[in-house]
């Protein structure tokens, strides 16, 4: 037992150390460069390597905590005998694919060892890369052990791993098995296997079928790591988790209550605004509903709002704010689509504001009849609440000023925000203890970071195969042959994204769909930045789409309400937000107009 605790502490310690170093290096670089001409040689390379370590060490944590991203349809199975059997299938498949990825990573390390690349500190690069095969092997072992509580299920998973690894010696006979194995992987993903397993497994099979070494999938990880913007994702994730674990939500609710509480429907406006602000840092991962739901729902009920409206508002507001800086999905879309993040943030501001205003306006309409009484406006309370929440309110401003002014890169601004948040919550507000609480919070953040980055890295492997096989070109030719109007294309796109956005995690949807949709949008003359805003706004709406929208399950779990009741509760918000998404889609002036105003418009596309 004691050795188990020691191993857990070691496993937790590495991601925490990687987080702190990833925060420190860009921060030192951004401060030292302009003021003292100080520069850390290879700083960006070190941050990339730390992000690489966070991806796989965080993935190991996510496997331990069962936090790898899965299709939300798995929640429909409940706790039945069928669910237990499908769990064995899902995790046996997950263990097998992860073991194959580990072996492919091992081959990559051997190849890179021959190249003799050395990091600036003198460490051979292949030694740093060893974290990939080791972490993947341990993740595979965890999947085997989690496959079942009984020895029979675990033995089945272990045999599946051995069978997959043994396929390497009979590659000439694997061809006829490709389709059945693809079906097994798809069924396993529907049964609860992580999405990164589905994408990694499909990529491995397709490369293997064509005689390409399976290390090609692992090699694509470095395409991911080389992205100059990617390290901002773990840094901002840490920022969001620290805010969620502190009492920041209480201070923000008090501030917005002081501003909007005097209005008819002001409490509903408060919920929409504070949830939107919180979601900018949590990225729509569900933290907003979990962290704020228990705080704002009782406030709504006390003010006289019905149970149905209150649940619908909290569920809908949990995804507002995805388009505002420094939203993680915007940064991820920027990485995958190759669209500048600053342009996406500028273009998404008015559309994001529109969606918040629509929800708030509906809240005002309902609140005129529902609220038990309207408070008088008090400048004294506004001042006191603003003073109490001043530090949290300044965090997004810090990111916008640093990044928007060009003083710091996106990664440096994210590092500054993370460091600033730690200082606020640990040393100024003292909601978190720097020794007892901060490591625990960073471990939680590391699990989400690992889940997201492992998903993205395996998606890069699948994307590489799709590009090599010219799948996007064939898809574009088919679409442009049958659809000639960009208006019709965008309408069909709205429907597809709405449906898929309800089934997939937002990170899954971005990495899977963006490489397919972006080239088609360009072919129809749609500005890439405008298309990105449409894409993200639709996925935001998908969180509410029955029967399996993510926010519906989160609210059902958080408040103990049956899903059919939540379907009825969110319906008005779904209709309102759908109208907003259509307005965003067909009024490109909302996005490109802002870009033109700030001199950022590239003049790409005619729609």
Residue 83 token pair = 């669910």
Which residue in 82, 65, 92 sits closest to 152, CA to CA?
92
Show which of 199, 225, 251 is a domain's final residue.
225
pLDDT of residue 138: 95
Which residue in 378, 310, 250, 199 sits closest to 561, CA to CA?
310
Residues 99 and 217 in one domain: yes
Continuous H helices in 246-306: 248-260, 266-282, 287-302
Question: Strand, helix or coil at 124?
Answer: strand
Residues 288 and 169 in one domain: no
Residues 154 and 181 in one domain: yes
Give domain status of residue 61, yes or no.
no
Give one DSSP letter per residue of 54-73, joined into a string. HHHHHHHHHHHHT-S---GG
pLDDT of residue 372: 58
Give domain status of residue 462, yes or no.
yes
Angle of CA points 62, 67, 71, to nearest 5°: 130
- 455 in Cβ contact with 199 (< 8 Å): yes
pLDDT of residue 374: 59
Show which of 225, 240, 266 is a domain's final residue.
225
Residues ≥6 apart with Cβ < 8 Å to 539: 322, 329, 497, 501, 506, 509, 510
- 506 in Cβ contact with 279 (< 8 Å): no
Which residue in 543, 535, 539, 531 sits closest to 573, CA to CA?
543
Residues 220 and 258 in one domain: no
Residues 204 and 239 in one domain: no
**Peptide linkage before 326 cis (omega within 30 of 0):** yes
pLDDT of residue 222: 65
Rounded distance between C-alpha atoms, residue 435 and residue 429, angstroms: 15
Residues ≥6 apart with Cβ < 8 Å to 20: 442
Which residue in 25, 35, 55, 36 sits closest to 120, CA to CA?
25
Give domain status of residue 516, yes or no.
yes
Angle of CA points 88, 93, 95, to nearest 5°: 95
Residues 172 and 203 in one domain: yes
Rounded distance between C-alpha atoms, residue 510 and residue 512, angstroms: 6
pLDDT of residue 424: 95
Give domain status of residue 184, yes or no.
yes
Q: Tell me the pTM.
A: 0.82
Residues 512 and 397 in one domain: yes
Residues 199 and 323 in one domain: no
Residue 470 token pair = 């010219």
- 490 in Cβ contact with 585 (< 8 Å): yes
Number of domains in the chain: 2
Backbone angles phi, psi at 406, to 5 degrees: 85, 5
pLDDT of residue 176: 72
Continuous H helices in 210-265: 215-219, 221-225, 232-245, 248-260
Residues in the chain: 607
Show which of 225, 258, 288 is a domain's final residue.
225
Give domain status of residue 60, yes or no.
no
- 268 in Cβ contact with 313 (< 8 Å): yes
Rounded distance between C-alpha atoms, residue 307 and residue 310, angstroms: 5
CB atoms within 10 A of CB 236: 30
pLDDT digits 0-9 by tens, 214-238? 777 777 766 666 677 788 888 888 8
Residues 220 and 268 in one domain: no
- 544 in Cβ contact with 316 (< 8 Å): yes
Residues 100 and 116 in one domain: yes
Per the structure, the complete domain to which residue 204 belongs is given by: 71-225
Place of tokens 């059902």: 556
pLDDT of residue 1: 57
Side-chain half-sphere CA neighbours of 194 within 13 A? 32
Question: Which residues of the chain fall short of a pLDDT of 50?
Answer: 72-74
Q: Quick one: DSSP state of residue 117? A: -
pLDDT of residue 249: 83
Place of tokens 């293997």: 208
Residues 209 and 274 in one domain: no
Residues ≥6 apart with Cβ < 8 Å to 460: 220, 221, 223, 224, 511
């Amino acid at each position: 037992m004691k050795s188990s605790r020691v191993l857990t502490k070691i496993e937790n310690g590495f991601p925490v150390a990687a987080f702190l170093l990833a925060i420190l290096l860009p921060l030192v670089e951004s401060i030292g460069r302009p003021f003292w001409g100080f520069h850390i040689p290879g700083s960006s390379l070190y941050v990339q390597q730390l992000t690489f370590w966070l991806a796989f060490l965080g993935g190991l944590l996510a496997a331990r905590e069962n936090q790898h991203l899965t299709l939300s349809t798995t929640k429909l199975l409940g706790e039945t005998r069928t669910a237990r059997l499908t769990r064995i299938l899902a995790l046996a498949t997950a263990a097998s694919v992860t073991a194959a990825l580990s072996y492919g990573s091992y081959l990559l390390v051997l190849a890179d060892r021959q190249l003799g690349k050395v990091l600036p500190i003198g460490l051979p690069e292949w030694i740093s890369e060893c974290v990939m095969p080791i972490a993947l092997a341990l993740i595979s072992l965890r999947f085997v052990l989690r496959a079942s509580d009984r020895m029979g299920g675990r033995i089945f998973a272990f045999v599946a791993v051995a069978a997959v690894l043994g396929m390497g010696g009979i590659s000439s006979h694997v061809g006829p098995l490709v389709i059945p194995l693809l079906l097994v992987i798809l069924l396993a993903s529907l049964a609860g296997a992580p999405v990164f397993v589905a994408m990694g497994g499909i990529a491995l099979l397709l490369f293997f079928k064509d005689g390409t070494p399976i290390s090609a999938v692992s090699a694509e990880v470095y395409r991911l790591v080389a992205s100059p913007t990617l390290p901002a994702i773990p840094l901002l994730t840490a920022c969001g988790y620290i805010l969620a674990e502190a009492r920041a939500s209480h201070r923000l609710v008090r501030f917005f209550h002081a501003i909007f509480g005097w209005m008819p429907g002001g409490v509903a406006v408060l919920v929409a605004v504070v949830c939107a602000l919180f979601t900018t840092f949590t990225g729509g991962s569900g933290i907003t509903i979990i962290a704020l739901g228990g705080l704002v729902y009782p406030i709504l009920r006390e003010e006289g709002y019905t149970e149905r409206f209150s649940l619908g508002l909290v569920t809908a507001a949990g995804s507002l704010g995805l388009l505002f800086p420094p939203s993680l999905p915007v940064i991820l879309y920027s990485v995958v689509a190759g669209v500048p993040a600053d342009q996406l943030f500028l273009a998404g501001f008015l559309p994001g504001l529109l969606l918040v205003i629509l929800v708030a306006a509906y809240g005002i309409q309902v609140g005129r009849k529902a609220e038990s009484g309207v408070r008088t406006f008090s400048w004294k309370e506004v001042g006191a609440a603003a003073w109490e929440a001043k530090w949290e309110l300044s965090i997004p401003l810090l990111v916008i000023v640093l990044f928007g002014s060009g003083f710091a890169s996106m990664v440096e601004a994210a590092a500054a925000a993370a460091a600033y948040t730690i200082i606020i919550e640990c040393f100024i507000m003292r909601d978190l203890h720097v020794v007892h609480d901060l490591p625990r919070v960073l471990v939680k953040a590391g699990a989400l970071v690992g889940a997201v980055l492992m998903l993205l890295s395996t998606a890069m492997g699948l994307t590489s195969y799709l590009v090599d096989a010219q799948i996007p070109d064939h898809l574009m030719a088919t679409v442009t042959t049958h659809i000639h109007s960009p208006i019709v294309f965008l309408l069909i796109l709205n429907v597809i994204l709405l449906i898929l956005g309800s089934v997939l995690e937002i990170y899954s949807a971005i990495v899977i769909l963006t490489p397919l949709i972006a080239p088609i949008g360009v072919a129809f003359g749609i500005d890439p930045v405008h298309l990105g805003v449409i894409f993200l706004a639709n996925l935001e709406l998908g969180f509410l789409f029955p029967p399996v929208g993510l926010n519906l399950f989160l609210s059902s779990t958080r408040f103990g309400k049956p899903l059919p009741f939540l379907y009825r509760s969110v319906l008005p918000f779904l209709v309102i937000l759908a109208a907003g998404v259509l307005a965003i889609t067909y009024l490109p002036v909302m996005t490109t107009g802002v870009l033109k105003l700030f001199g950022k418009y590239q003049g790409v596309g005619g729609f």
